[in-house]
Amino acid sequence: MVINNIKYFYSDKKIIQDLLSSSSHANNLALDSLYSRFYPIMHKFVVSNKGTDEEAKDIFQEAMIILYENIKNGKFEQKSSIKTYLFSTGRFLWLNELKKKKKIQFSEMDYESIKDDSPSFSGEPQTDQSTMLISLLDKMGTTCRNILTMYYYKKLSMKEIALQLNFGSPESAKVQKNKCMNKLKNMIEGMNDLRDDIISDRYQIENI
Amino acid sequence: MKTKFDIEIIDRYLEGQLNAEDVILFEEKLKSDPEFAQDVEIHKMAINAIYVHSRDELKQKLKDIHDNRVNRSLTVKFPYRIAASIAVIFLISSVVFYITMNRTPNYSKLFDESFVPYQDMISQQSRGENNDDKLLINEAMKYYNQKKFDKAVLLFDKIVKSKQSNDAVIYYYGISCLGSKENNIAIELLSRLSENHESMFYEQSKWYLALGYLYRKDKENTVKTLCDIIQNKTFNNEKANDLLKEIE
């Protein structure tokens, strides 16, 4: 991915606009700008708080993902600036990490106050899915994968999806989305059935 | 391909877009119909899988940005391309500036090269007479010959004020003014002479007038006067030609 124009003078408003846009080019520019502007501060924070370069990278990227998803799902209310939001998210993530590692002891009160500043993680889907489930998406065609990503993750409107993927109308895009979703569900069901069969077979074998 | 339950309804329910009545109906069905409940579970799993997959794509994108932007010393990469373009623009404009500055003729330099005070032709005449003015003229010309133009100017001024001046006095007064950089007076004096064909140093005054305009950096008038000299082939017309080439 080559990014040529670095807009160093992006306002928060423009960033959000570009992230919400259906154009992946606009998305990429916004992400690049955020990365260039805010990575250094985050890195400095993590490293000066017992972190490694690698950990700084992970924390920052995690904070970026949270920001992105919260902008998409409307949870980012623009009460604070993106800078503040990113930084406080990152700070929370890192301090949490340190707590897990038991590298620092801090009082319950500290923890609570930090938690209030950070975005809520409720509603975030569990990430401990079997990799097999995720690989189902790779097995689907590109169109289905794109429609589902745009609808469920990027939360674009049917109209925008229709435009991006060259559907005749939003209605036909919707029909396709439903078809793709059914396909995915069937694949999951099939996978579950297979797993059930394997388990029951093993049971039978063990009982012989 | 099985299409048991309406995808739209489930989506709307999960997005919180069903009205209150429909929410109640939906939740009742969840309790009463195990197949439906199962389907909704799978629906959630599907959304989860999409989420995780898309998030992995985003992670990959961020990783690419990181590799592009953050170099080994962990500072954000300097935008070299932009800096290079700015440097090139700056370089080009300074070169252009330099060239245009050099193309503009250096008027002061040209003046200094061209200005040669006209030979003294009037001092001799006043020898032997005991007249105040003629003494003054001698004094003035003495300074003139010594190239002490500012002193000459003062004396010439006196002569003029005592109303004893003639064309010759005006002429050497004008040249002295040029020499002492009293440019505007020089131009005034020399113009008077060059307007009158009958005046004694008519041709020569034109040349010095041109020099006066030159010193003033008045390109238009310099060129005009020089062209006049060249066309009429008057005093110093060859030098005028050379000078004209320097200016244009």
Instruction: Give yes or no: residues A82 and A147 share one domain.
Output: no
Residue A120 has pLDDT above 60, yes or no: no
Q: What is the pTM of this model?
A: 0.54
Residue A119 has pLDDT above 60, yes or no: no
**Chain A contact present for B40, CB below 8 A:** no
Pairwise CA distance, residues A42 & B128, whole Å: 100
Each domain of chain B, given as residue ranges in start order, spans 7-69, 108-247
pLDDT average, residue stretch B61-76: 76
For residue A182, give every residue at least 6 positions away whose Cβ sits within 8 Å of its Cβ, in sequence order, or none.
B1, B2, B3, B7
Looking at chain A, list the stretches that DSSP marks H as alpha helix, in order from N- to C-terminal side.
Answer: 12-20, 24-47, 53-72, 82-101, 108-117, 131-139, 142-148, 158-164, 170-207
ipTM: 0.78
Range of A2-11, A135-144, A159-168, B158-167 with top mean pLDDT:
A159-168
Residue B121 has pLDDT above 90, yes or no: no
Pairwise CA distance, residues A43 & A53, whole Å: 7
Q: Which residue has the higher pLDDT, A79 or B155?
A: B155
Residue A154 has pLDDT above 50, yes or no: yes
> What b-and-e string marks burial along A135-162, b requiring 16 or more CB atoms within 10 Å of the CB?
ebbeebeeebbbbbbbbbbbebebebbb
Instruction: Give yes or no: residues A56 and A106 share one domain.
Output: yes
Instruction: Give yes or no: residues A81 and A36 share one domain.
Output: yes
With respect to residue A2, please indicate whether it lies within any of the assigned structural domains. no
For residue B191, give every residue at least 6 positions away whose Cβ sits within 8 Å of its Cβ, in sequence order, or none.
B209
Residue A81 has pLDDT above 50, yes or no: yes
Instruction: Give yes or no: residues A25 and A102 share one domain.
Output: yes
pLDDT average, residue stretch A156-166: 91
pLDDT average, residue stretch A92-100: 89
Per-window interface: B 60-99 vs A, CB < 8 A: 61-66, 68-70, 74-76, 79, 81-82
A7/chain B closest Cα distance in angstroms: 11
CB pair distance less than 8 Å for B62 and A64: yes
CB pair distance less than 8 Å for A43 and B74: yes
Residue B16 has pLDDT above 80, yes or no: yes
Residue B46 has pLDDT above 80, yes or no: yes
CA angle A169, A170, A176 (to 5 degrees): 95
Instruction: Give yes or no: residues A81 and A104 share one domain.
Output: yes
- What are the backbone angles phi and psi of residue A123, rounded to the nearest 5°? 85, -5
The answer to whether A61 and B65 are in contact (CB under 8 A) is no
A153/chain B closest Cα distance in angstroms: 6
DSSP state of B198: T
Pairwise CA distance, residues B27 & B18, whole Å: 11
The string of DSSP codes covering B82-100 is HHHHHHHHHHHHHHHHHHH
The answer to whether A180 and A144 are in contact (CB under 8 A) is yes
Tell which residue, B232, B233, B240, has the closest CA to residue B209: B240
| pLDDT grade for B75, boundaries at 50, 70 and 90 | low
B2/chain A closest Cα distance in angstroms: 7
Angstrom CA distances, A75 to A83, A118, A120, A135, B48, stand at 16, 12, 9, 29, 18
pLDDT average, residue stretch B100-122: 85
Q: Which of A2, A137, A186 sits opposite B50 (nearest CB)?
A: A137
Q: Which of A126, A127, A148 sits opposite B50 (nearest CB)?
A: A148
Residue A204 has pLDDT above 80, yes or no: no
From chain B, the residues in CB contact with A192 under 8 A are 42
Instruction: Give yes or no: residues A111 and A24 share one domain.
Output: yes
Instruction: Give yes or no: residues A112 and A152 share one domain.
Output: no
CB pair distance less than 8 Å for A185 and B79: no
Number of domains in chain A: 2
From chain B, the residues in CB contact with A68 under 8 A are 58
Residue B132 has pLDDT above 50, yes or no: yes
On average, the pLDDT of chain A sits at: 81
The answer to whether A159 and A107 are in contact (CB under 8 A) is no
- Predicted local distance difference test score (pLDDT) of residue A134: 75
Q: Report the CATH number at residue A112.
A: 1.10.1740
With H, G, I as helix, E, B as strand and everything else as coil, classify residue B49. helix
Q: Report the CATH number at residue A203.
A: 1.10.10.10
DSSP state of A125: P
- Predicted local distance difference test score (pLDDT) of residue B99: 82
For the domain made up of B108-247, the CATH class stated in words is mainly alpha
- Predicted local distance difference test score (pLDDT) of residue A104: 57
pLDDT tens column, B141-197: 999 999 999 999 999 999 888 887 888 899 999 999 999 998 899 999 999 998 888
Of A86, A117, A148, the one marking the end of a domain is A117
Domain that holds residue A111: 12-117
Instruction: Give yes or no: residues A75 and A170 share one domain.
Output: no
